Amino acid sequence: MTTIDTVTPAVPIAHQAAAQLRRDIIDGTFAPGSKLKMDVLQSLYGFSSSPLREALSQLAHEGLVRADARRGFRVTPISVPDFRDIAESRLLIDPAALEKSIDAGDEEWESSVVASYYRLEKVEQRLGDGPVVLDDQWAELHKQFHMTLIAACPSERLRQYSSRLFDQAERYRRASALHRQRPRNKSREHEAIKDATLERDADRACELLRQHISRTLQDVENWIRSAT
């Protein structure tokens, strides 16, 4: 009997560089507005200039980096108008993607929604009170939960736009969590969205998702205004 070995294709170096840069921009390793110097990035990550430039261009396309023909690349600055634009875009795209996902999703998708929520809830129970958004595992599972909700949406573009906007918003969530005056029980918000989704109540699920995004918008706006 002949056996065929399956080999996992190697991740392109530029994609590896983009993944590491994206993570470090989102978690605040590189401050908003800071210059991304090529020699520093080469020393930090061990990549050559070619994949790093490709990675920076990709992140500029995603909205996390800004390019200047004469000054190179900088981390996108943060501001109330910028985050409002991000949140308002999410309010248009995410509920539309969720509605389509609820309409098209099968039992396997339902199971994945339950599983992603369960993993997120277990981490939240372990962390207890405090700004859970600052925990890297929670942040990863949080995005997984939101992306799983819309995974059955037939529109690849809606799913891609949602993922990019989520990453852009994550920088703000992490920064504002450090200064939040009152705790916010995201677990209950996620549970309510999950339940309405599994009940195939698209109107309620989408409205709960809008409220979820709007609360984050208010938290971030309060933080930016208090810090300026």
pLDDT one-digit tens code per residue, 188-222: 899 999 999 999 999 999 999 999 999 989 888 88
Q: What is the mean pLDDT of residues 80-91?
A: 94
Report which of residues 193 and 182 the model is more confident about: 193
By mean pLDDT, which of 29-33, 52-56, 186-190 is the weakest?
186-190
Residue 167: is its pLDDT beyond 80?
yes
- Predicted TM-score of the model (pTM): 0.82
Asked whether 224 and 78 are in contact (CB, 8 A), the reply is yes
Q: Which pLDDT value is given to residue 226? A: 75
Supply the pLDDT for residue 84.
94
Task: Encode pLDDT of 102-149 as tens digits.
Answer: 999 999 999 999 999 999 999 888 876 655 556 788 889 999 999 999
Residues 6+ apart with CB under 8 A from 160: none
More confident residue, 125 or 184: 125
Q: Assign 3-class secondary structure to the chain.
A: CCCCCCCCCCCCHHHHHHHHHHHHHHCCCCCCCCECCHHHHHHHHCCCHHHHHHHHHHHHHHCCEEEECCCEEEECCCCHHHHHHHHHHHHHHHHHHHHHHHHHCCHHHHHHHHHHHHHHHHHHHHHCCCCHHHCHHHHHHHHHHHHHHCCCCCCHHHHHHHHHHHHHHHHHHHHHHCCCCCCCCHHHHHHHHHHHHHCCCHHHHHHHHHHHHHHHHHHHHHHHHHHC
Q: What is the pLDDT of residue 72?
A: 87
- Residues of the chain with pLDDT > 90: what percent? 65
Tell me what pLDDT residue 202 has: 98
In terms of Cβ atoms closer than 10 Å to its own Cβ (0-12, 13-18, 19+), residue 2 is: exposed
Average of pLDDT values for 21-25?
93
pLDDT for residue 10 is more than 70: yes
User: What's the pLDDT score for residue 219?
Assistant: 84
Comparing C-alpha atoms, which of 206, 127, 222 is closest to residue 173? Answer: 222
pLDDT above 80: residue 26: yes
